[in-house]
């Protein structure tokens, strides 16, 4: 899996995390806890994975900026 595949996988996980936060904020419903249990080892892995993916997405800023400069030349 190349860098592009990792980026899409990570983006998908971050979107799932964002949807979960939206459900919590609007409806008080935690989908991860509903599916895997409240703070079970599996739900903690999911939360941790979403957090790590969110941190990885910070690297997108530099790459998006580089792409913008490449097209303007």
Would the pTM of this model clear 0.85, i.e. be above it?
no
Higher pLDDT, 62 or 24: 24
Domain residue limits at 68: 3-72
22-44 burial, b if ≥16 CB within 10 A, otherwise e?
Answer: eeeeeeeebbbbeebeeeeeebe
| pLDDT reported for residue 1 | 67
* Number of domains the chain is built from: 1
| pLDDT reported for residue 63 | 77
| pLDDT reported for residue 4 | 85
pLDDT in tens, 5-59: 999 999 999 999 999 999 999 999 999 999 999 999 999 999 999 999 999 999 8
């Amino acid at each position: 899996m190349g860098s592009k595949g990792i980026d899409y996988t990570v983006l998908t996980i971050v979107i799932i995390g964002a949807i979960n936060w939206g459900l919590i904020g609007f409806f008080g419903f935690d989908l991860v806890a509903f599916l895997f249990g409240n703070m079970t080892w599996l739900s903690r892995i999911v939360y941790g994975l979403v957090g790590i993916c969110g941190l990885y997405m910070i690297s997108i800023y530099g790459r998006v900026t580089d792409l913008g400069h490449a097209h303007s030349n």
